[in-house]
Amino acid sequence: MAQQGTLTRFAWLSITAAIVTMGLKTAAYLLTGSVGLLSDAMESLVNLAGALMALAMLTIAARPADEDHAYGHSKAEYFSSGVEGSLILIAAISIAVAAVQRLITPKPLEQIGLGLLVSVAASLVNLFAALILLRAAKSYSSITLKANAHHLLTDVWTSIGVLVGVGLVAVTGWQKLDPIVAIIVAGNIVWSGVRIVRESVFGLMDASLPVEDLSVVQGVMDRHCGADIQCHALRTRQSGSRKFVSFHVLVPGDWTVNRGHDLLEQMETDLRNALPNVTVFTHLESIHDPVSWDDIPLDRSTCSRQDNDLPIP
């Protein structure tokens, strides 16, 4: 959890970038009167709200496991990405409404050159912050930083679209190009918001690990399993940056407890070395006991032994 605690500094970077870009884009809007630049500034406000939420959730996620949260608090990250995605959708609706109003009643743009320069500076700030966040998200497997980084990158592409729209207005003099581009921007923002919310829902629903991670897990299992040793009942899930893997290992019934334990310890060690931030649960079973094969489904519905066959404690 100490590792997650270090992630808050990246949230502060996102907050700083959002404040700077919001100020620059608002200035660009005030200089030009462009509704496209206004939409860009409004998305920066969403960036700030998302960054503040990310800071709060990363702080919670960094808390160690306790009596009420035996698996830690890492799922708090999904609340951050879910809220950020929802805020993006709200911002898109606001942008679309403003753009439609401007489309109905066009307004000439002013000081276009200066406004564009200010907006370009804001986009470079976002690009710099997004690249740092993407690198950190990959290093720490943080869905919060990943969502924040992609949101900033979306902002960069949005800004490029707005700049193109304002530039075309300056060249052609067709004022309706500005709100048209703003509507396109709103559509792009909707797609970004839906994607982020979708990833958050999958995380809260305990979806299995990505295919590439599952391949790593299967590779470790295959190295140790063979004719006399088999593995099954593999189950995985992701909780923020923390990965959970559980599976059963079936060995010959005449093995000693120590021998079976040594095998499981080696498999768990290999998996932790191959996959960062993973918590592994293993269960040792006899390959010759029919009951061992009843654990493949999530819920054991049958049992090969009758209750009266079990030893009396």
Pairwise pLDDT comparison (175 vs 243), residue with the higher score: 243
Angle at CA 232, nearest 5°, toward 230 and 233?
160
Task: Assign 308 a pLDDT band (cuts: 50, 70, 90).
Answer: very low
**pLDDT score of 272 more than 90:** yes
- What does the pLDDT average to over 8-34? 82
More confident residue, 209 or 187: 209
- Predicted confidence at residue 112, as pLDDT, reads 60
What pLDDT does residue 113 have? 66
Is residue 309 scored above 60 in pLDDT? no
- Cα of first residue to Cα of last residue in the chain, in angstroms, is 40
- With 0-12 / 13-18 / 19 or more C-beta atoms within 10 angstroms meaning exposed / middle / buried, residue 90 is middle
Which domains, and CATH codes, for the chain?
2-204 (1.20.1510.10), 211-309 (3.30.70.1350)
Q: What are the structure tokens assigned to 208, written together?
A: 């299995």
Q: What is the mean pLDDT of the chain?
A: 79
Model confidence pLDDT, tens digit, residues 173-208: 777 777 777 787 778 778 777 877 887 787 777 778
Residue with the bigger pLDDT between 85 and 55: it is 55
